[in-house]
Each structure stands twice: as structure tokens, then as C-alpha cells.
Amino acid sequence: MVGAGLAGVRAGEALRALGFSGALTVVSDEAELPYDRPPLTKQVVAGTLTADDIRLAGAEDFGARWVRGTAAVGLDRERRRVRLAGGAELRYDGLVLATGARARAWPGEVPAGVLTVRGLADVRALRAAVDGGAREVVVVGAGFVGVELASSLVGLGLGVRVTLVEPFGRPLRALGGTVPDVVAGAARRAGVVLRLGIGVTGFRAEGARVAGVELAAGRVLPAEVAVVAIGMAPATGWLTGAGLALPGGRVHCDERLFARTAGTAGVAEAAGVVDPRIVVAGDVARCDAVRSADGPVALEHWSNAAAQGELAARNLLAGPAGAEPYVHVPSFWTSAFGLRIKSVGLPGTGDRVVAEEGEPGTEKLVEAHYREGRLVGAVSVNLGKRLAGYARRLQEEQGAAGVSGEALARVSGEVAAGGGAAG
């Protein structure tokens, strides 16, 4: 397995639980023991959880050989070899690709003090700067990571002044409806300064360190620390030349999570066929089974990584002939500025939003998202228990599409467990 996040750990656990007794190797470019990422931008930044608190339980219990602090740098599918930094190679009979994603870096050079946040080392660097006296923090990007960080930093009680910049006009805009406006109002009440609908052009330095964030309108925001939170980039650069399809940087896999080929010139295989020895799971996957009316949708949710990791292991052992399709009702939750926000389905893909509980724009609300009259998702603010019914409706639609009862039972268990956090 390449990747030791949630998807990789769940795959390792499942392989052993399903009776695989062979050699199992896990490659991770982080030296850390496997840990849960969603708490990083919330409880770990806030100081209410430590690194030890977020370790993934069971990661050390499935009898694997761990290769930590060493990145995979190449894949030779013909010889069935994973090449590591330093030149060593690992042979495989079956391979789980679960390398996840990295924080998208700012294009171009940046001065010291311009950070991204994806892993434990990033959070430690941010807290070291704030604990060392930095009080002017600018967060660039108001997606889940940016909003969670702004909430955590302003709540530290250290007098940190946080400015949140978002060029697209609303925080958490992917949720649609009035929820982004609710988040914006709560952020302002918490003391965060919002700069919405304006882009960032670069950073100003004094000496070698950041001193300001340059806005498109020409203004410069003072900054002792700037956090770039402009999305994630799939960690698939090491797969270049491996003959796998990589649309948008993610590994294309079929509905059973087997990797699809690219049909590269000079390689004796057609495009789109599956490699029966390679399965894909988590943030790195672009799965044919996860789709809106517009086509496959990539998910960066905790619950998706957990569910795909388990099924990827099951299907790798079963082979294509005995493999099951991936069935999953997307779900996540996040918290910021005193709001607990939950979602099921794909709310950002609808064409109509209906407030079905509470009043639009209030802090107790359920909004359902429909496309051509069909439910595609729902979002709640401080009314998370209400989403169980919407999840069941989405699950029933998958059943109507011919999904097996066993697969639906697993989905029901995922929904009952509450989904997973964003971030």
C-alpha cells in the first residue's frame, strides 16, 4: 500500500480481517505514525487535542512492514514495482493507491511565514508562529480548511487578528443556499474580518519574511503570518508515466475501485481498461461510482476515505470477477464559529434549494438541494440529526438503481455512524 492516511489504514485492517496472511508493506512519506486529519485545523490548532490524541487506532495492529518518511517516486506496472526515493524498489502482487492530497501551494515564490496546512508539521509551524507572538494572520481561501483555521485562531484567546480573504464572494460557497451567508455572519460576530469577492495577487515581505498580503484592488493587508488555503492537489505526481488515467490529477478508477489505464502510446493496452492488481481509495480517487448528473465527482470526505479503503481491500482480494461496486452516501460535518454544519449527498450539484426546516439565513436550518425535482443532497446548521431522513432517501434511490442489499446495509451503517469531518 502506498499512503498511510485513513484510506490506507482502513485497507490494511480490512485485508487482515478478510484473511489475507501474506506480506503487507505500507509506504508513507511522513515519518509520523498514521493520524486523523480532520481535527488538525480545529482541535489541534486550538490546542484541545494533541498529536497523540489523533493517532489512528489500529494502524499498528495489522502486521505490516512500515516504510515511513520515504516517498514513492515511481510505478512500473509491467514489472510490478514501486520505486522509492533513494532508489529502492518494492515488488507487489496487489497494490492499494491511497496517497491522498497535498495542500495546493501558492504559484510562485513566497517569503517565510506564508504557510499551508495539511499535516501535523504544518499545524506545528502555525502554532509556533502564533505562540511566538504573531498576531496579524491572513487566511487566503474560505473553503473548509480556511474557515476552520480562522475559527480556531480567533478563538485562541491570544488576541490574534484574523482576516479571511475569499475571491468568490462567500465562505463555504460549495454548500450553496443560505448556509454560506450564515457562516459569514458568524465569522464577523467572532471578530474575523472578511474580504469577500476580491483576489490575492501576491505577498509583500520585509527582509525574508512576510509582512503583507497584496489584494487585487491594490490594498495590502498587514500579515505576520499568511495561510494559503486554496484547495488540495492530488498526490499523484509520482505516477506520471505509469500508464494510469489521471484526469484532473486523480487516479481514475471504475465503480469497483480498480485503477483504469490511460492507453499511453507505446504501451500494449487500451485506454480505460482496469488493472486488476491495483485499487484506489480516498482523496486520490476519481471513481466512476461517485457521480452527479454532470459526471464523476471527487470526494475529499473522511467517510469516503474510510469506506473506499475497506472496499478496495475487499475487491483486491476478490478480483474483478467477484468485486462489488462502491456504494456510498457522501456525508461530512464541520464546526466553525459556534456552528455545527453537516451535509449528506452532493448539495452543490442541485438546481434548486429549499429551506425545509428553520428560516433561510438562520443558525438552525435544514436546506434540501434538488435537481430536476430529485433530491441530490441536504445541509444542516445545528440540526444535524434531521439529516438521517435525507440520507435514507438518497440511499433508497441507490437501491432503486439496482444496488445490492449487502452494499446498502454498509451504507446504512456509515450514515448511522454520523459520516466524517471535512478537512
Residue 58 is predicted with a pLDDT of: 85
Residue 418 is predicted with a pLDDT of: 46
Residue 297 is predicted with a pLDDT of: 86
Strand 161-166 with 136-140, pairing = parallel
Spell out the SS3 assignment of the chain. Answer: CECCCHHHHHHHHHHHHCCCCCCCEEEECCCCCCECCHHHHCHHHHCCCCCHHHECCCCCCCCCEEEECCCEEEEECCCCEEEECCCCEEECCCEEECCCEEECCCCCCCCECEECCCCHHHHHHHHHHHHCCCCEEEEECCCHHHHHHHHHHHCCCCCCEEEEEECCCCCCHHHCCCHHHHHHHHHHHHCCEEEECCCEEEEEEECCEEEEEEECCCCEEECCEEEECCCEEECCHHHCCCCECCHHHCEEECCCCEEEECCCCCCCCCCCCEEEEEEECHHHEEECCCEECCEECCCCCHHHHHHHHHHHHHHHHHHHHHCCCCCCCCEEEEEECCEEEEEEECHHHCCEEEEEEECCCCCCEEEEEEECCEEEEEEEECCHHHHHHHHHHHHHHHHHCCCCHHHHHHHHHHHHCCCEECC
Instruction: Check if the beta carbon of residue 287 is closer than 8 Å to that of residue 257.
Output: yes
Residue 412 is predicted with a pLDDT of: 44
Instruction: Check if the beta carbon of residue 146 is closer than 8 Å to that of residue 139.
Output: yes
Per-residue confidence of the chain (423 residues) as pLDDT tens digits?
A: 999 999 999 999 999 999 999 999 999 999 999 999 999 999 999 999 999 999 998 888 899 999 999 999 999 999 999 999 999 999 999 999 999 999 999 998 999 999 999 999 999 999 999 999 999 999 999 999 999 999 999 999 999 999 999 999 999 999 999 999 999 999 999 999 999 999 999 999 999 999 999 999 899 999 999 999 999 999 999 999 999 999 999 999 999 999 999 976 445 567 889 999 999 999 999 999 988 888 888 889 999 999 999 999 999 999 999 999 999 999 999 999 999 999 999 998 899 999 999 998 899 999 999 999 999 999 999 999 999 999 999 998 876 554 444 444 444 444 444 444 554
* C-alpha span between 307 and 310 (Å, rounded): 5
Residue 295 is predicted with a pLDDT of: 83
HSE toward the beta carbon, residue 226, CA cutoff 13 A: 27
Between the alpha carbon of residue 120 and those of residues 39, 44, 117, 127, the distances in Å are: 10, 9, 8, 11
Residue 115 is predicted with a pLDDT of: 98
